[in-house]
Structure 1
Amino acid sequence: MTTSTDRVGTRRRPVQGLALFVGAVFLLVGVLGFVPGVTTALDGLRFAGPHSEALLFGLFQVSVLHNALHLLFGVAGILAASSRGASRLFLGAGGFLYLVLWVYGSVVHSIDHEGGAANFAPFNAADNLLHLGLGAGMIIAAVLATVFERARGRYPGREQRGA
């Protein structure tokens, strides 16, 4: 029989809940990228590159590769939610990657409106703003979750192993 103190050590921490939420949203978005009606011009969906005409919610340009990456990123977030360290890494590193995508997409979008070889993914203005928001939001979430844990007297990475 477990006591209430036994269960405290296995409770999901805020950072884990955030990683689970972000992972679930990415998984959902990856699936919705293939759903007619939610994704407009689905018959114009391409494997990769800027020539895909499909728009998720009529706004965000997607491709098969783009949707597959959302699915993989979603699974990674859900798996990362099993540990505090992995959750923090998922949110922090994932946020950094989205900021890199924002910079890359902004540069490619401003230089190459014709979608040349350098543009491996569909990046429109809405995608670029979303990448900026996701990157910043994920990093802020990782930092705030750590701050909240420390405010409660928990120090991530320095947990004492149970006896």
Structure 2
Amino acid sequence: MTATRRFAMIFGIVFLLVGAAGFIPGITQPHSHPDVRVTAGLGAVLGLFAVNVLHNLAHLLFGVWGLVASKSDSASRSYGKAVAVAYGLLLVLGLIPAMNLHTLFGLVPLYGHDVWLHAGLAAVGAYFGFIREQEVPLERSRV
């Protein structure tokens, strides 16, 4: 398995775990914000990362997508590109409180600790999607 496919698999698993964690009381602490209109499931995972039901569903979607993409090198690279672009955009939106862009018009909380997390996700996605050269997988030797 190439490193790019491994990236897609690991991101897929982590996104699935984070998406599920957002629905678990205790892992997700109560949280409120006046600009978030979709309050279903509104909380903070580990008391740090603001989420709601739409945010959790987006994590689950990226998780499933990552696992499916990990089946091929080209799909994994495309997934990396999509993660870079999507989370780069979410990073920028999370920095702009004007017009409620930091909550995606009240739909999804993108502010606070989510900003630096989205920056990291975008950077890793950009590396595997745009920067890392395609590689030839090493065949396992048979004894």
- TM interval, shorter chain, is 0.7 to 0.9
Cα deviation, 1:26-72, whole Å, max 9, x if unaligned, reads 00000000111111118x7xxxx725441001001000010011001
Q: Paired residue for 1:132? A: 119
Identity %: 35
1:141 aligns with 2:128: yes
By how many angstroms is 1:80 displaced?
0.3
Q: Paired residue for 2:36? A: 50
Residue 66 of structure 1 aligns with an amino acid whose one-letter code is: H
TM-score, normalised by the number of residues in structure 2: 0.80
Maintained 8 Å contact 1:98/1:135: yes
TM-score, normalised by the number of residues in structure 1: 0.71
CA distance in 1, matches of 2:104, 2:19: 24
Maintained 8 Å contact 1:50/1:122: yes
Q: Which runs of 5+ in 2 are unaligned?
A: 137-143
Q: Paired residue for 1:72? A: 61
SS at match of 1:40: strand
Cα deviation, 1:124-153, whole Å, max 9, x if unaligned, reads 221111111110121113345426x2xxxx
Q: Which runs of 5+ in 1 are unaligned?
A: 1-11, 155-163
CA distance in 2, matches of 1:58, 1:125: 11
- Of 86, 94, 102, which aligns to 1:105? 94
1:31 aligns with 2:20: yes
- Number of matched pairs: 131
Maintained 8 Å contact 2:103/2:110: no
4+ runs deviating over 6 angstroms: none
CA distance in 1, matches of 2:81, 2:19: 21
Q: Paired residue for 2:139? A: none
| Structure with the greater alpha carbon radius of gyration | 1
